[in-house]
Amino acid sequence: MAAWDLSVTVEDLGPDTPPVTLSVTSDLHVGGVILKLVEKTQIKRDWSDHALWWEQKQRWLLRTAWTLEKYGIHADARLVFMPQHKPLKLGLPNGITLRLRACFSNPVFQTVIGICRMLNIRHPEELSLLRPLEEKKKKKDKDSTVEIYDLTEVPLSSVSRPCLYNGMPAHFADSPQMEAIYKMLSVTQPPPAPEVIAKQYRPASVVDKAHINGRWLDSSRCLMQQGIQENDKLWLRFKYFAFYDIEPKYDVVRLTQLYEQARWAILLEDIDCTEEEMMLFGALQYHISKVSQSEPQLLSSSAAMDDLESALQSLEVKMEGESSSASEMLENMTAPELNDYLKIFRPKRLTLKGYKQYWFKFQDTSISYFKSKEESIGEPIQQINLKGCEVAPDVNMAAQKFLIRLLIPAPEGMNEVYLRCENEQQYAQWMAACRLASKGKSLADSSYQSEIQSIHSFLAMQKTNSGSHGNAAASDESINTHSLVSPRYHKKYKAKQLTPRILDAYQNVAQFSLTEAVMRFLQIWQALPDFGLSYVVVRFKGSRKDEVLGIAPNRLIRIDLGVGDVVKTWRYNNMKQWNVNWDIKQMAIEFEGNVNIAFSCVTADCKIVHEFIGGYIFMSTRSREKSDTLNEELFHKLTGGHEAL
C-alpha cells in the first residue's frame, strides 16, 4: 500500500513548532499513528491522556483501532495531537472561580460527571455547563482581582474513585490549600456587598430570562466541538430543577452550591417573590451566614456522625450532662423570671392615657404588673398570657425608643398593648421573653439566651448601617441588610428600615441549625410559583408573534408576552411523543387527547429546548430502586440529537 505523508501538530511542542510529518499508509490504525508520532518527538513522558483531534471535521479520533481509511483521513487532514483533559476556568454558583482539568473529548454530559466527581457533587445529571454572560464593558475596573482557585493538580486517576477522607474526597485532603478550597465549596459565602449585587446583570423581563438559556452547552457533544478552548471560562449551574434524593449527610457541596444558586436567583430577581418572602429569604441568609461562621463544620461533621465512635462519644457527653441536670432541675424548680419597672400603654383603652409605669413580672408565658415593687407579693393589677400573641418591635436607636408592641388574642379579638423599655439591655431581655412566650415557651427555654443575642445583633445593625457602605459584609456583627435583599428593596427601604422587617421574619428561623436553615431556604424557593421554570422565546406554529415557552420539571407553559400571563399548560405525563425537525428548527409535541403543538425556537437552539424536555423526562425516570447507577444511555436517547441515534 502506498505510503503518504500525514502532518500532525503536537500541541505540547508549542504553537510555533511546525507540524511533525509522518509517513503512513491508509491501513495504519490510529494507535499506530500515535506510536509513530511519539517516537518521532523523542520526548519521554506520559502520553496516555493524549489523542488526535481532526480540525477540519471537528472530531476526535478516539478509536485507536480504526484505520485512517476508516476515518476517511487523507494527506490534507490537519490533525492535532493534544491532551483530552485541559484546564478550564469554572464559575461556580457561589461566584467562585476554579481552575480545573476537564475532559474536552467526551460528551459534555460526561465532562460534567467528571467535574462533579472531583468536586464531590452527587447527581451530576442535574447540572450542566453554560457560557458565561459577557462581562460588561467596564473592563477598566479591576478585573484582575478575581481570584482563581487551582485544582489542576488533582491527579485524574484519583477522581474516578470517590473515597472520602475526613468527610471530603481524598484529593482535597492532600494539603491545607486544597482543604481550604474544599471549604470554599462546602461552606456558604458571606452575604455579598450591596454594590456587588447592584453591579450584577439582572434580567428585567421574561425575555431577558429566556436569553440565558440559549447559553447552555450541548450535552451530547464535547467541549472541543463546541468551540471551547483551553482556559476558557464556563459556568457550572444546576440546570434541571428536579433535585433528587437530597441527603445533607452526603450532599455538603451540592447543598451549598444549590443554596448559592438559589440565593443569587432571589437577589438578582431571576425568580420573582413577594416582599414578605424576600424578608424571609433575607432572614434565612442572615441566619445561615451567622451560623456557618460560628459552626462551619456542622455540615461536614454530620457525615462523621456515621462513625460509631463519635456517636458514642456524644452520647456519653449527653448522658453526663443530663444526669446532673435532672437533679438540678428539680432543685431549681422555680422557673426563671424577669422583674422590672416598665411603662405600659393601651392604645384602645381610654382609661390609661399615655404610658404609665408599673412593676412588671415575667413568669412562664405571662406578664403581670403591680403598682410597685413593694406590692408585687399580692395580686397583680393584671396578668396577661402571651401565648399565641403577636410581637412586633418598634425601635429607634437614635431616639432611644424601645417599644414592644403586643397583639394579644382574647375571645373578643386582639388587644393591643405597648411596653416601653428604658434601654437596649432591658429591651432585649423582655423582647426575647415575649417572643418565646408567644410561641408558648418560657424563659427556661434553652433558646432564650440566643434570642437575646440575636436581638442585640439586630440592634447593632441598626446602629451601624446608618450609611450604606458595604464592605461590612464580611464581619458578622454588622451585616448590611441591603446585602440580603434584591436591589429593588435597596431603593424602597433604607437599611435601617429593613432591619426590623428582617428581624421580624428572623424570629421564625432563629432556632434552625445550619442544615435546617439551608433546607428551609431551598424549600421556600421551591414553593415559589415560578420555581423551576426555564424560559425560551418561541414562535408557535400559526402564530405571528413571539411567545415564551416555560419549561418546568413537570410541565410546559405558554406565556403570552403581551399579557404576561400563562395561557396554557401541558404536563409531561400527558405527552405521547415529540419530534424535532432539525432542518427547520422546529419542535412538534403530541399530547394525549389529540393535542399537538409545534413551535420554532428563537432565543435558543432547538437542541437546547429538546434537551430540556428530554432531560426532565429522564429526571422523572430516576427512582430509588435504581440507586446510584446513572442510566447514561437513556439520557442520551432522550436528549441527544440526530447524531446520537
Partner 1 sequence: MDDIDAMFSDLLGEMDLLTQSLGQETVPPEPLLLPATNEEINFSIGFTDLNESLHELEDNDLDALMADLVADLSATEEKLAAEIEGLKVPSPPQSDLPPPPKGLSTHSASPHASPASSTRSSVSTPASSAASPLPPPPPQSSKPTKEEIEAQMKADKIKLALEKLKEAKVKKLVVKVLMNDGSSKTLMVDERQNVREVLDNLFEKTHCDCNVDWSLCETNPELQLERAFEDHENLVEPLSAWTRDSENKVLFQERKEKYEVFKNPQNFYLWKKDKKALKDIKDKDKDILIQENFCGTSIIVPDLEAVLHLKEDGKKSWKQRLFQLRASGIYYVPKGKTKSSRDLVCFLQFDNVNVYYGKDFKSKYKAPTDFCFVLKHPQIQKESQYIKYLCCDDAWTMNLWVTGIRIAKYGASLYENYKTAEKKAAVSSVWTNRSTPSSSNPSTPSPTIKGSTTRKLSLLSLKHQCVDPPCLVNSPPPVHVTMFYILSSQDFGNIPPPPPPPPLPSTEILPPPPPDPVLPPPPPLAAKSYAKPVPPQRHLPTNFPPPAMDNLPPPPPPPPMDDSSEAPPDFLPPPPPAAGFGSLPPPPPLLMNSLPPPPPSFGGMDQSLPPPPPDPEFLPPPPTQQVYIGAGAPPPPPPPPPPAAAAAAPRAPVRPSGSVKKLPPAPPKRTTPSLLGEGGGGGGGDFMSELMLAMQKKRSDH
Footprint (CB under 8 A) of partner 1, residues 342-401: 388, 390
Q: Which of 135, 150, 275, 476 binds partner 1 (CB under 8 A)?
A: 275
Is 134 a binding residue for partner 1 by CB under 8 A? The answer is no
Is 575 a binding residue for partner 1 by CB under 8 A? The answer is yes
221 or 610, CB closer to partner 1? 610
Is 126 a binding residue for partner 1 by CB under 8 A? The answer is no
Nearest distance in Å: CB 139, partner 1: 33
- The amino acid present at 382, given as its one-letter code, is Q
Site pattern 227..256 for partner 1 (x: CB under 8 A)? ----------------x--x----------
Q: Which 545-564 positions form the footprint of partner 1 (CB under 8 A)?
A: 554, 564
Asked if 279 and 512 count as a contact pair (C-beta separation under 8 A), the reply is: no
Nearest distance in Å: CB 574, partner 1: 8
Is 323 a binding residue for partner 1 by CB under 8 A? The answer is yes
Angstrom distance (rounded) from CA 367 to CA 348:
19
> Which of the stretches 135-143, 165-173, 338-346, 577-585 binds partner 1 when contact is defined by CB under 8 A?
577-585
Q: Which of 72, 95, 155, 413 binds partner 1 (CB under 8 A)?
A: 413
Please enumerate in sequence order all residues whose Cβ is within 8 A of that of 306, keeping only pairs 6 or more positions apart, or say none. Answer: 249
C-alpha cell recorded at residue 269: 430577581
Is 133 a binding residue for partner 1 by CB under 8 A? The answer is no
Please enumerate in sequence order all residues whose Cβ is within 8 A of that of 118, keeping only pairs 6 or more positions apart, or say none. Answer: 100, 151, 154, 159, 169, 171
55 or 306, CB closer to partner 1? 306
Is 266 a binding residue for partner 1 by CB under 8 A? The answer is no
Burial label, 135 (beta-carbon count in 10 A; 0-12, 13-18, 19+): exposed
Alpha-carbon dihedral angle through residues 172, 178, 182, 187, given to the nearest 10 degrees = 150
Total residues contacting partner 1 by CB under 8 A comes to 90
49 or 269, CB closer to partner 1? 269
311 or 474, CB closer to partner 1? 311
> Which of the stretches 121-129, 227-235, 368-376, 581-589 binds partner 1 when contact is defined by CB under 8 A?
581-589
Q: Which 59-88 positions form the footprint of partner 1 (CB under 8 A)?
A: none
Nearest distance in Å: CB 527, partner 1: 4
Tell me the C-alpha to C-alpha distance, in Å, between residue 322 and each of 305, 316, 325, 606: 20, 10, 5, 63
> Which of the stretches 5-13, 195-203, 222-230, 408-416 binds partner 1 when contact is defined by CB under 8 A?
408-416
C-alpha cell recorded at residue 479: 451585616
Nearest distance in Å: CB 35, partner 1: 39
Q: Which of 43, 146, 410, 474 binds partner 1 (CB under 8 A)?
A: 410
DSSP 8-state symbol, 29: B
DSSP 8-state symbol, 543: -
227 or 388, CB closer to partner 1? 388
Q: Which of 584, 627, 628, 629 binds partner 1 (CB under 8 A)?
A: 584
Nearest distance in Å: CB 385, partner 1: 10
Please enumerate in sequence order all residues whose Cβ is within 8 A of that of 279, keeping only pairs 6 or more positions apart, or say none. Answer: 485, 498, 501, 502, 504, 505
> Which of the stretches 22-30, 38-46, 456-464, 572-580 binds partner 1 when contact is defined by CB under 8 A?
572-580
231 or 310, CB closer to partner 1? 310
What stretch of H or E contains 119?
Answer: helix 108-119
Tell me the C-alpha to C-alpha distance, in Å, between residue 565 and each of 526, 530, 549, 554, 568: 20, 12, 11, 18, 9
Angstrom distance (rounded) from CA 122 to CA 44:
37
- Diameter of the chain by CA atoms? 116
Is 577 a binding residue for partner 1 by CB under 8 A? The answer is yes
SS (H, E, C) 213-254: HHHECCCCCECHHHCCCCCCEEEEEECCCCCCCCCCCCCHHH
| CB count in 10 Å sphere of residue 110 | 16
207 or 617, CB closer to partner 1? 617
Angstrom distance (rounded) from CA 375 to CA 356:
16
Please enumerate in sequence order all residues whose Cβ is within 8 A of that of 240, keeping only pairs 6 or more positions apart, or say none. Answer: 125, 126, 553, 612, 615, 616, 619
Q: Which 600-639 positions form the footprint of partner 1 (CB under 8 A)?
A: 610, 614, 617, 620-624, 638
Radius of gyration of the chain (CA): 31
Q: Which of 374, 529, 628, 629 binds partner 1 (CB under 8 A)?
A: 529
C-alpha cell recorded at residue 508: 421564625
Angstrom distance (rounded) from CA 427 to CA 456:
9
What stretch of H or E contains 276?
Answer: helix 275-294
235 or 243, CB closer to partner 1? 243
Q: Which 2-41 positions form the footprint of partner 1 (CB under 8 A)?
A: none
Nearest distance in Å: CB 314, partner 1: 6
Angstrom distance (rounded) from CA 535 to CA 571:
16
- The amino acid present at 139, given as its one-letter code, is K
In the chain, % helix, strand, coil (3-state, to 5) comes to 40, 25, 35
Site pattern 300..319 for partner 1 (x: CB under 8 A)? -----xx-x--xx-xx--xx
Q: Which of 583, 627, 628, 629 binds partner 1 (CB under 8 A)?
A: 583
Nearest distance in Å: CB 175, partner 1: 31
Q: Which of 27, 153, 272, 476 binds partner 1 (CB under 8 A)?
A: 272
Angstrom distance (rounded) from CA 53 to CA 62:
9
Site pattern 470..499 for partner 1 (x: CB under 8 A)? ------------------x-----------
Residue with cell 422555680: 334
Nearest distance in Å: CB 387, partner 1: 9
Q: Which of 48, 423, 594, 629 binds partner 1 (CB under 8 A)?
A: 594
Q: Which of 542, 545, 562, 629 binds partner 1 (CB under 8 A)?
A: 542
Is 519 a binding residue for partner 1 by CB under 8 A? The answer is yes
| CB count in 10 Å sphere of residue 609 | 27
Nearest distance in Å: CB 501, partner 1: 12
Nearest distance in Å: CB 428, partner 1: 23
Q: Which 325-344 positions form the footprint of partner 1 (CB under 8 A)?
A: 326-327, 329-331, 333
Helices (H), 585-628: 606-621
Nearest distance in Å: CB 409, partner 1: 4
Nearest distance in Å: CB 543, partner 1: 9
340 or 530, CB closer to partner 1? 530
Q: Residues 104, 105, 106, CA angle at the centre, nearest 5°?
A: 105
